[in-house]
Amino acid sequence: MSDKPASVPADPAALHPMPGQPRVVLLKPLVTSPLIEVGEFSYYDDPDDPAAFETRNVLYHYGPEKLIIGKFCALATGVRFIMNGANHRMDGPSTFPFPIMGGSWGDHVDLVTGLPSRGDTVVGNDVWFGNGVTVMPGVRIGHGAIVSTGSVVTGDVPDYGIVGGNPARLIRTRYNDSDISRLLAVAWWDWPVDHITAHVRTIMSGSIADLEAAAEELK
């Protein structure tokens, strides 16, 4: 019988996964809004109030559009998602939303309802956001992407793309098209957590071939 201790996976239900670091929270056990979906192990880091993510970092979320964030995403301090409720009319002389001020102006509420929607904001798996990133409504960010510090993401980001700037532009992709297809086929983020635990080193520093070999073990 082996004396080696059993491998214990990290706990996806732990609000604060890093001992002694209350600034880091896992988002899945934190969020309560039915309009926000977050996959396991995606985390947010903020020295001030990380537990207020839903109100401080998801802005103008008046519905019905959803914010969907995949698994194993890393969100640095100040990452914010601007939702479709931030939109104002732009087809008249003024963009001011008079009806929301109340009084008799509220009789014109039809002027601020039914504004065009860009749909849900969707973030793939294994996405890394740098400090102070802003994501605009309806954006889709692919698996394995990296969003540089201070970027304003106004358009879709491809799988394994690296983007930066305001507005964010594609700097390069992390792999060529063939290798990206192989990585998406492996989809390590969907492995059982025990299998991920057994192959952490491969996931972090191995080759694509190593990942494919680990994936074969599940068949």
Residue 142: which CATH number?
Answer: 2.160.10.10
Q: Is the pLDDT of residue 3 over 70?
A: no
| Residue 41 to residues 59, 84, 99, 126, 149, Cα–Cα distance (Å) | 22, 26, 41, 10, 21
Q: Is residue 53 part of a domain?
A: yes
Predicted pLDDT of residue 112: 87
Q: Is 88 a catalytic residue?
A: yes
| Structure confidence at residue 4 as a pLDDT band (50, 70, 90) | very low
- 56 lies in some domain: yes
- Determine the pLDDT at residue 14: 84
**Gyration radius of the chain over CA positions:** 20
- Say how many C-beta atoms besides its own lie within 10 A of residue 101's C-beta: 10
Residue 128 has pLDDT above 90, yes or no: yes
pLDDT digit string, tens, across residues 28-62:
999 999 999 999 999 999 999 999 999 999 999 98
Does one domain contain both 37 and 113? yes
State the Cα–Cα distance between residues 144 and 107, nearest whole angstrom. Answer: 47
Q: Are residues 124 and 203 in the same domain?
A: no
Q: How far apart are CA 133 and CA 80, in angstroms?
A: 6
Question: Within a domain: residue 133?
Answer: yes
Q: Which one from 16, 61, 88, 195 is the annotated catalytic residue? A: 88
Residues 74 and 170 in one domain: yes
Residue 12, in any domain of the structure: no
- Domain of 127, in residue numbers: 24-174
Residues 164 and 193 in one domain: no
pLDDT interval class at 113 (50, 70, 90): confident
Question: Do 85 and 163 fall within a single domain?
Answer: yes
Strand 161-165 relative to strand 134-135, pairing = unpaired
End-to-end CA distance of the chain: give it in Å, rounded: 27
Same domain, 76 and 112: yes
* pLDDT of amino acid 59: 97
Mean of the per-residue pLDDT values for the chain? 94
